[in-house]
Structure 1
């Protein structure tokens, strides 16, 4: 019974680590992904060794499977909370809504607009790239101003230039300045 509990807990740790390692690798964060991979390997070998040490113990196998399933759920929650990276959001709205555009910009969203042709009418397309943790906020604002908008989002793998990179550069400069002041003290 104790080995089944150990296996279950190991899976609760292993699978979220696996999830994070995968995300870090996709985000090209190789060093962090490697560190997670080492931890993942240690946990995996330990848990699987316990399962294989007694193949007649079905409780261990069930604990492994249950831990894996619950670990996937926990890993998904952790990934959602961390919201690593950026998202590009496109909102297709019926007309150019200056109040909406100004509100988004006032809240720090980068917004570019263009006129597009729909099936039977001209529409306005809003483009925005933001941190992933602000995606729901963007959707809420769009919904408040344009309830019938078609909104889609996707994750850019890389980007260069524009509003986001300027803001990132400013944040980095402020960080380095603060760090330099701290080191001087």
Structure 2
């Protein structure tokens, strides 16, 4: 029975490490991903040796699979908590809401405003880059000012230049 519990525990360690390793690799953080890959391989080999060693019970195989599924869920929770990287939001508005724009800029969000022509009238588009850890905060602010805004988000892979990164670092120091 201890062996079965250990198999489950190892899966609950292995799969979140696997998830985080993949995310760090995609984000270009190769050194961190390599270290996590090393840890992942150790846990993986040890866990498999338990499953395929000894009496090779069907329960061990099922527990291994259940642990894998739960581990994916845990890995997702950890990733959302870490919120590594940035998100760009495209916010389409019917009106040029200067109050919202000023508020967002004052809160440290980089906002670029574009004016365009919609089907029936002018539209205003805000392009906002933010840390993933501030996504919900940003969405709540937009919802408070513009509940009918059309919002699209995506995760930029690379960017450089602009005031935002330097300004974000300065603001984070001031908040501490």
TM-score normalised by L of structure 1? 0.88
Which structure 2 residue ranges, 5 or more long, are not aligned? Answer: none
Q: What displacement does 1:4 show?
A: 1.1
Do 2:93 and 2:150's aligned partners in 1 also have CA atoms closer than 8 Å?
Answer: yes
Q: How does 1:18-167 map to 2 (within 5 A)?
A: 18-54=18-54, 56-167=56-167
Name the SS of the counterpart of 1:162 in structure 2: coil
Q: CA RMSD in A?
A: 1.7
Q: What displacement does 1:117 show?
A: 2.3
Name the SS of the counterpart of 1:51 in structure 2: helix
TM-score normalised by L of structure 2? 0.92
Name the SS of the counterpart of 1:36 in structure 2: helix
1:2 aligns with 2:2: yes
Q: What displacement does 1:167 show?
A: 2.5
Which structure 1 residue ranges, 5 or more long, are not aligned? Answer: 175-185
1:131, 1:37 → 2: CA distance?
26
Name the SS of the counterpart of 2:16 in structure 1: helix
Name the SS of the counterpart of 2:24 in structure 1: helix
How many residues are aligned here? 173
2:169, 2:131 → 1: CA distance?
15
1:103, 1:170 → 2: CA distance?
18
Q: What displacement does 1:54 show?
A: 4.5
Name the SS of the counterpart of 2:152 in structure 1: strand
